[in-house]
Structure 1
Amino acid sequence: IKCIVGAQPFEGGEIYVDGKNVVNDPIATKRLIAYVPDNPDIYEFMSGIKYLNYVADIFGVPAQDRVERITVLANRLGITDSLANPISSFSHGMKQKLVLVSALLHEPKLLVLDEPFVGLDPAASFELKKMLHELASRGSAVFFSSHVLEVVEKLCNKIAIIREGKLLAAGETEEIRGNSSLEEVFLGMEVGAPGVTDELAADMAAAEKTAASETPAAPTAPSVPEAPSPKAPVNQEGDR
């Protein structure tokens, strides 16, 4: 995930976002991406509304658009009444909601989320699921990691299962799940475990063999420049 969003260099291969290389064109790709880490660091000395305007400035969201988007998104996640308060007074769940609102302000082409439902109340979780569906229906991609398999099963049309750094399965959710629940498939990832079919066991063994034998041929990627500083906001003309 950190490699996708340009926060960590990688040793091989290439990553493209909407046709743009994250190493060769880092600023352009950052304009297209929104990233919500599992434990986001935000400026707690700011009020919620100042933080949202700060993020909107970085991505060049026009004044009229940002007012409308902040109003709609904050209402949907239930943080409108708290936006005037300092972020330092927010609970973990409130901070998570604020970061989610900030991530959606510039209508990213790729939304990357790491455990996005942790800390959210049931109403906010339900609303976030709807918002992710809506974003995907507008042509954006949503990429997230989660240990909440029921959520993954209901939201994702494609999944990948990774164990100890190895890709065990990847593809359409229905194909990987088969007639079992995703939880049953995940718990049976050890080849030979109860409930693992011969076909799935063969697929997992083949995936592990392929992963072990493949060596990336691409050269070492250089360090990715950091995101723009507050003193040099990015203009995002024409980007969604």
Structure 2
Amino acid sequence: RAKASIGYIPDRPYLYEKLSGAEFLRFVAGLWGRNGNGTEHRANRLLELFQLRDRQDDLIESYSHGMRQKLLITSALVHEPELIVVDEPMVGLDPRSAKILKDLFRTYADHGGTVFLSTHTLEVAEALCDHIAIINKGRIIARGTMDELRTQAEAGSAGLEEIFLKVTGAGELEHVLGASEALAG
């Protein structure tokens, strides 16, 4: 039951390549016992949103990396999970699809869903996340809202990138920047 309430989007889209996109979505929906008109309608809306509807009957092996990522995203959302676990979701996405995905995540969270996002793209985390944990060398070293992180890091109105560098050892970065300036000069 718990697994059925989770949608997972890995950073690499491993899919059953000998299935069509539509077959794959029916397969995934069936795993969660969600075959039916409502699920099919939701799948079709997501396919349309991510501009895959006209390719849904093509074999996945013919899809580009970005198309596979969009199909994987669709498969994670098709059964309307309570929690979405996401690892580097923007990899391979065109700017339009990345914007759609960010809007979907924000809307999903605003309506009571939970999105657990792992990313190295700090601008995405800052824009999307209500709560952020900064992990360094496998340990959480800071966590909270952006305002709480700013307070913890004594970082004024800094953005997440600046906070991250400060709490993980910005002195190292300043050393690297100084070395690169010396090379340029």
- TM-score, structure 1 length as denominator? 0.67
CA distance in structure 2 between the partners assigned to 1:190 and 1:39 by the alignment: 27
1:167 maps to which residue?
140
What amino acid does structure 2 have at the position aligned with 1:89? S
Query: SS at 1:168's partner residue?
Result: strand
1:188 maps to which residue?
166
What amino acid does structure 2 have at the position aligned with 1:67? E
Which of 67, 74, 77 is the aligned partner of 1:94? 67
Q: Is residue 157 of structure 2 the alignment partner of residue 179 of structure 1? A: yes
Identity value in percent: 42
Q: Is residue 103 of structure 2 the alignment partner of residue 130 of structure 1? A: yes
Aligned length: 168
What amino acid does structure 2 have at the position aligned with 1:139? G
- Cα offset for 1:76? 1.0
Query: SS at 1:193's partner residue?
Result: helix
Which of 146, 152, 155 is the aligned partner of 2:125? 152
Question: Does the C-alpha gap of structure 1 residues 190 and 57 become closer, same or farther in structure 2, counting only changes over 3 Å?
Answer: closer
CA distance in structure 1 between the partners assigned to 2:93 and 2:76 by the alignment: 16
Q: Which consecutive unaligned segments of at least 5 residues does structure 1 have?
A: 1-27, 196-240
The one of the two structures with greater contact order (alpha-carbon pairs below 8 A, sep at least 6) is 1
Q: Is residue 55 of structure 2 the alignment partner of residue 82 of structure 1? A: yes
- Cα offset for 1:191? 4.6
- Cα offset for 1:166? 1.4
CA distance in structure 2 between the partners assigned to 1:166 and 1:194 by the alignment: 19
Q: Equivalences for 1:1-240 in 2 at 5 Å?
A: 28-177=1-150, 178-191=156-169, 193=171
How large is the RMSD of aligned CA atoms in angstroms?
A: 1.6
Q: Which consecutive unaligned segments of at least 5 residues does structure 2 have?
A: 151-155, 174-185
